[in-house]
Each structure stands twice: as structure tokens, then as C-alpha cells.
Amino acid sequence: MSKGSFLSASIGRKFMMSVTGLFLIMFITVHLCLNLFLIFDDTGDLFNMAAHFMATNPLIKIIEPVLALGFIIHLIWSLILTIQNMKARPVKYSKTQQTSNSTWVSRNMIILGLLIIVFLGIHLANFFWKIKFTGDPLLAEVQVMQAGSLVTMENAYALVATMFKTSVPICLLYVLGGCLLGLHISHGFWSAFQTIGLNNDIWRKRLNVLAKIFGWIFAVGFSIIPIYFMIKF
């Protein structure tokens, strides 16, 4: 099978969607680890250093457009596969049979994905867009002691912390976003490896357990940050 025919075939699209999905999971893992500095240090220095590293590191600058491309590919092929599956499904397909053969999450992955996209848009508008393009008074530069010397950097902590401290609805929205992400990954993680080829009974069970653990880690990890600010401040 040629490269073009492979990518145009259903298995090719599933393979690329799986690879891009795993790549996005790796990025989300790093993103979560850095965001947890928000609750480990109320001075904001640790989070500001992490944000400064992400903004100035040359490797991260290279990865950013690759990440954006991976997200776009993942989204487009998810929609294509969903439409293909809907067309291939018999009109009188038994709902009871569908329910017994799959989980609620697997049947609603595209809905979860679209909800995550809405949340991602809000997240980018609140933080990424301001940090990268428009700026914000809360981002006024601060000096942080790093490796024995003072380094000037934007006060990203003030931007994030102020929003969580002053808006309960935003906090609840981020809790919801974390839960949606956890559900999406709990199915997508093991499904990706299954598509790649680890689909025997032994690996399927192991990956299913690991996927649930990952789902809980992301759901709790991203939710605990806004909850922390709601409770403490």
C-alpha cells in the first residue's frame, strides 16, 4: 500500500489520529506538571519560572507549531472518521446492541472532543492570547531569583491566580474542562495503542487500566488547581 493510499484509508487515518493523540497527551502531561506549581508556591515564583522557560526555550518554540499541526490533524481526522462511521452504520442499528458493545465515553468521544475544543478556546483567550499577543496589566514584569541571579520575566502567575481568585464560574468551568479531558483521554489512550497494534487480550486489559489511571490523573490534576483557589482565597 502506498503512502497516499494508506493515509486515505480508514486504518491510516486511525493510525495518524492515534499518533497525534499520544503526542498531545505527552504535551498535556508536561502542561499539567507545570500548572501544578500554581498550588505549590503562593509567591508565584515557581510558576513564573516555568512559564518563562516555556516562553523562551528554543525547543519549545519549535514544538509549538508542531503541536498546533498535530491538534489540527487529530481534530480533522476525528471528524472524518466519525462521519464515515455514521454513514456506515445501518439505519435500524439496535441501540441496545450498541450500548452493550461499547461504553458511553467511546460512543461520545466526538462530543467530548468538541466540548474540550470550546473549553480550549476559552483557555487560550484567557491566557495564551494575552501572554503572546495583547498583553495585560497583570503581566507586568517581576524579578525572580533563579540560579543565584535575578531574572526579569512576565508575572504569569498574577494573571492566572487573579482570574481564579475573582471568578467562581471560571473555576467551575475549569473543573468541568478537567473532567471532560480526563474522560476523553481515558478512552483515547488505550484506543490509540490498540490501533497501533497492542490489541491482544493481555495488553488490552493493561492499557485499559492504565488509561483509567491517566484519566483520573488529568481530571483530578487540572480540577484541583481552580478548587485550590476557590477554597484558599
From first to last of its 233 residues, what are the pLDDT tens digits of the chain?
545 565 556 677 677 778 888 888 888 999 999 999 999 999 999 999 999 999 898 988 888 888 888 888 888 878 877 777 777 665 544 454 555 456 777 777 888 888 888 999 999 999 989 998 999 999 999 999 988 899 999 999 999 999 999 999 999 999 999 999 999 988 888 888 877 777 677 777 888 888 899 999 999 999 999 999 999 88
Boundaries of every domain in the chain: 3-232
CA gap 71, 84 in Å, rounded: 20
Assess contact for 131 and 159: CB atoms under 8 A: yes
Q: What three-state secondary structure class fits 177?
A: helix
- What pTM does this model have? 0.84
CA gap 72, 7 in Å, rounded: 15
**DSSP state at residue 103:** -
CATH number of 3-232: 1.20.1300
